[in-house]
Amino acid sequence: MHLTDVWFGLIAVLWIGYFFLEGFDFGVGTLLPVLGRSETDRRVMINTIGPVWDGNEVWLLVAGGATFAAFPEWYASLFSGFYLALLLILVALIVRAVSFEYRSKGNSEAWRRGWDRAIFLGSAIPALLWGVAFANIVRGVPLNRHHDFTGNLLTLLNPYALLGGLVTLGLFTLHGAFFLALKTDGDVRVAANSLAKKIAPVVVVVAAAFLLWTQVRDGRLTSWILTLAAAAALLAAVAASWRAREGWAFIGTGVTIALAVAALFATLYPDVLPSSTDPAFSLNTTNAASTHYTLTVMTWVAVALTPVVMLYQGYTYWVFRRRISAHHIPAVPVITGSSPRGGSTPKPA
């Protein structure tokens, strides 16, 4: 096995980690206007991901950095061709990060509602667009002999890619619902369990259609096995939810995400960005890779630092492992009106 293959696999692992962890973050943000029926409920939901959401985004930074260092041609073609879509994702992530910090800076209900809407959009838009992006990577995009993207935004908005976006949006939302059921108590827990049972059948159907379409187009034995395993994990998660086994339900959607991403990378290999113009113009693990020396140095750095990252992130989840409920939320003054500073007399939340 060459180092290029090793780094292709490591990048797949990084994306698995990002989608597993950030997936439930996106799901919680997407469900905020649905399950957050009161200010206390919304604060409970936000507090479930408050200590971890920014740490989860580190996986995205590392995945992007690893792609840039290990496969610079892939990085260049991907970020130039998908520029607008990735810009929308970046703006959404920035807005979401600002919203988490700013919603508590004002005491008016209108102020908080505005930032809650921003959290929803900052979660739902990336959840949708990441699926669109990865579906296009697997499907292939128009590349010329110089590996330049020759399409436009409408090229990326094809039926297969849009279905992929619906899969990630639905799967992350279900993942978030199971996470809320696992991490909360009281009204939010009951509502999350109830909603998960309602949306699960839709997610199963959409995910099955996308994975079947992928395998019929490009599937190999390995990706077929991973796809069937992902389908089984999703069905097991739904079954666990109906039996009120919240931990197993959350693990089930997490395993589904991991196996689905692994199946997509298995379908893609040895290409990293197929060309729909001419297969000869495709980028693969050989012609898109850095030098052997660069990959060697990166490997040693990864061996030294990856355990440290895993340990401190695991410790964070261990510290904040307990359930959150309404009695953990202190009362804050709420001012009616549109200004964060003005309005009527404060009253308890």
Residues in Cβ contact with 290 at an 8 Å cutoff, skipping those fewer than 6 apart = 69, 70, 71, 72, 298
Check residue 35 and give its pLDDT: 93
Check residue 66 and give its pLDDT: 93
pTM over 0.85: yes
Mean pLDDT over each residue of the chain, to the nearest integer: 89
Phi-psi region of 163 (alpha: psi -120 to 50; beta: other; left: phi over 0): alpha
In the chain, % of residues over pLDDT 90:
70
Check residue 154 and give its pLDDT: 86
User: What's the rounded mean pLDDT across residues 302-306?
Assistant: 89
Q: What is the CA radius of gyration of the chain?
A: 21
The residue behind tokens 């290029």 is 4
pLDDT, tens digit (0-9, with 9 covering 90-100), for 169-210: 999 999 999 999 999 999 999 999 999 999 999 999 999 999
pLDDT, tens digit (0-9, with 9 covering 90-100), for 142-152: 999 988 998 88
Check residue 346 and give its pLDDT: 32
DSSP 57: T
Q: Residue 87 — pLDDT band, cuts 50, 70, 90?
A: very high
Check residue 1 and give its pLDDT: 64
Res. 342: pLDDT tops 70: no
Phi then psi for 271, rounded to 5 degrees? Answer: -70, 155
Q: Residue 79 — pLDDT band, cuts 50, 70, 90?
A: confident
Res. 104: pLDDT tops 90: no
Q: Is the model more confident about 154 or about 7?
A: 7
pLDDT, tens digit (0-9, with 9 covering 90-100), for 30-48: 999 999 888 899 999 999 9
User: What's the rounded mean pLDDT across residues 229-241?
Assistant: 94
Q: Is the model more confident about 267 or about 343?
A: 267
- CA distances 320 to 172, 184, 292, Å, are 21, 12, 41
Q: Of 177, 204, 172, 206, which Cα lies nearest the Cα of 191?
A: 177
Structure-derived torsion over alpha carbons of residues 172, 53, 19, 99, reported in degrees to the nearest 10: 60
**Strand-strand pairing, 333-334 and 347-348:** antiparallel
Where does 184-282 have alpha helices with state H? 187-218, 221-242, 246-268
Check residue 108 and give its pLDDT: 85
Burial of residue 253 (CB within 10 Å: 0-12, 13-18, 19+) is buried
Res. 340: pLDDT tops 50: no
Q: Residue 232 — pLDDT band, cuts 50, 70, 90?
A: very high
